[in-house]
Amino acid sequence: MKEEFVELKAGFIVINPIPEIQEARKNRNYFLAFILAVSHFEYYGYRAFKIRNLIVDKGSRYITVTKIIKRLKKNGLIDESIYKKMQEVKEKRNELVHPKCKEAITMRYIITKNDESLLDKAIQCIEALMSIK
């Protein structure tokens, strides 16, 4: 079965993920907070392409969040500052989701203050993506 994105003629459901990310952060569930943030980078990034009638990845079955972030910048939908923040947040999410060793699995819930500040950056990025019309 071929995996495809569904064309939504009526548009996208607009949701505000920020309270959910803030709640996960408050509960020190950083794993969930970073997962939610990057998932919404994908969702709102793809939404931005559709709003602007841009081709996302013709001929590809799946577009990665890395490609979405790069294409958002390439198409002028985000500036350098948002691009860098999105990359930082994505890298932290990758560290949490794909730990390099067994011991790192337990570190999913222990992050530094600097890492926690990445969630502020994630929220700024989501707000920027949500504002694309």
Burial of residue 92 (CB within 10 Å: 0-12, 13-18, 19+) is buried
Summarised one tens digit per residue, pLDDT across range 47-67 is 898 888 887 666 666 788 999
pLDDT of residue 125: 96
pTM of the model: 0.81
In terms of residue numbers, what domain contains 116? 18-130
Length of the chain in residues, anyone?
133
∠ CA 90-92-93, rounded to 5°: 60
Asked whether residue 9 is assigned to any structural domain, the reply reads no
> Total structural domains in the chain?
1
Query: What is each CA distance from 69 to 50, 78, 109, 111, 118, in whole angstroms?
Result: 15, 9, 26, 24, 16
Asked whether residue 13 is assigned to any structural domain, the reply reads no
Asked whether residue 96 is assigned to any structural domain, the reply reads yes
Asked whether residue 117 is assigned to any structural domain, the reply reads yes
Asked whether residue 58 is assigned to any structural domain, the reply reads yes
Asked whether residue 10 is assigned to any structural domain, the reply reads no
